[in-house]
Structure 1
Amino acid sequence: MPSLSVQRLSVVVPVLNEEDAIGLFLEKVIPIIQDIDRLEYEIIFVDDGSTDRTSQVLHQVHAANPAVCMVRLSRNFGKEAALTAGLEAATGDAVIPMDVDLQDPPELIARFVQLWREGYDVVYGQRSDRASDTAAKSGSAGLFYSLFNRLSSLKIEPNVGDFRLMSRPALQATLRLRERNRFMKGIFAWVGFQSIGVPYTRPARAVGTSKFNYWKLWNFALDGLTSFSTVPLRVWTYVGGIVAVFSVSYTITIILQTLFFGRDVPGYASLMAVVLMLGAVQLISLGIIGEYLGRLYIESKQRPIYVVREQVGLRPQTESSSPVETLLAYSKAAR
Structure 2
Amino acid sequence: MRRECTEEERGLSFPCKLSVVVPCYNEEGNVSRLYDETLMVMRERGISFEVIFVDDGSTDGTMRQLEAIAGRAHSGVRVVELSRNFGKEAGIYAGLRNASGEYTVIMDGDMQQSPEVVLQMYDWLESHPEDDCVAAVQEKRREGAVISFFKRCFYSVINRAASVEFVAGASDFRMMRRNVVDAVLEVSDYYRFSKGIFSFVGFKTHYMPYEARPRGSGKTKWSFFGLIRYAIDGILGFSTAPLRITTWVGLVLSVLSFLYLVVVVVKKLIYGDPVQGYPTIVSLILLLGGLQLLALGVIGEYLGRTYMEVKHRPVYFQRRVIDSRDMKKTDSADAQSDENTEYNNRE
TM-score normalised by length of structure 2: 0.86
SS in 2 for 1:279: helix
| Residue equivalent to 1:160 | 170
Q: Determine if contact 2:32/2:66 at 8 Å carries over to the other structure.
A: no
| Residue equivalent to 1:191 | 201
Q: Determine if contact 2:264/2:275 at 8 Å carries over to the other structure.
A: no
SS in 1 for 2:26: coil
Q: 1:171 Cα deviation (Å)?
A: 0.4
SS in 1 for 2:17: strand
Q: Does 1:75 align with 2:84?
A: yes
| Residue equivalent to 1:105 | 114
| Residue equivalent to 1:261 | 271
| Residue equivalent to 1:328 | none
| Residue equivalent to 1:90 | 99
Aligned partners of 1:4, 1:46: CA distance in 2, in Å?
25
| Residue equivalent to 1:327 | none
| Residue equivalent to 2:295 | 285
SS in 2 for 1:248: helix
Q: 1:136 Cα deviation (Å)?
A: 2.0
Q: Determine if contact 2:76/2:325 at 8 Å carries over to the other structure.
A: no
Structure 1: stretches of 5+ with no match in the other structure: 317-335
What whole-Å deviation, never above 9, does each CA across 1:106-140 have from its counterpart, x for those lacking one? 2111111111112121001011111x112222222
Q: 1:36 Cα deviation (Å)?
A: 2.5
Q: Determine if contact 1:15/1:100 at 8 Å carries over to the other structure.
A: yes
1:100-249 mapped onto 2 (5 Å cutoff): 100-117=109-126, 118-119=128-129, 120-130=131-141, 132-249=142-259
Amino acid at match of 1:129: K
| Residue equivalent to 1:64 | 72
Identity score, percent: 38
RMSD: 1.8
What whole-Å deviation, never above 9, does each CA across 1:151-210 have from its counterpart, x for those lacking one? 111111100110000000000011000110000000011111111011012232121111
Q: 1:42 is matched with which residue: 45, 50, 53?
A: 50
What whole-Å deviation, never above 9, does each CA across 1:46-81 have from its counterpart, x for those lacking one? 000111121111111111105222000000001000
Aligned partners of 1:296, 1:251: CA distance in 2, in Å?
39
Aligned partners of 1:77, 1:268: CA distance in 2, in Å?
52
Q: Which moved more, 1:175-184 or 1:137-146?
A: 137-146
**Which stretches of structure 1, 4 residues or more, deviate above 3 A after TM superposition?**
2-7
| Residue equivalent to 1:299 | 309
Structure having the higher Rg = 2
Aligned partners of 1:125, 1:4: CA distance in 2, in Å?
27
Q: Does 1:54 align with 2:62?
A: yes
Q: Which moved more, 1:215-224 or 1:72-81?
A: 215-224
| Residue equivalent to 2:338 | none
Amino acid at match of 2:79: M
SS in 1 for 2:191: coil
Change (3 A) 1:261 1:174: same
Q: 1:217 Cα deviation (Å)?
A: 1.2
Aligned partners of 1:276, 1:208: CA distance in 2, in Å?
47
Aligned partners of 2:45, 2:270: CA distance in 1, in Å?
88
Q: 1:309 is matched with which residue: 319, 322, 325?
A: 319
Change (3 A) 1:315 1:63: closer
Q: Determine if contact 1:89/1:314 at 8 Å carries over to the other structure.
A: no
Structure 2: stretches of 5+ with no match in the other structure: 1-10, 327-347
SS in 1 for 2:22: strand
Aligned partners of 1:249, 1:151: CA distance in 2, in Å?
30
Amino acid at match of 1:212: W
Change (3 A) 1:6 1:240: closer
Count matched residues: 313
Change (3 A) 1:30 1:121: same
Aligned partners of 1:207, 1:230: CA distance in 2, in Å?
40
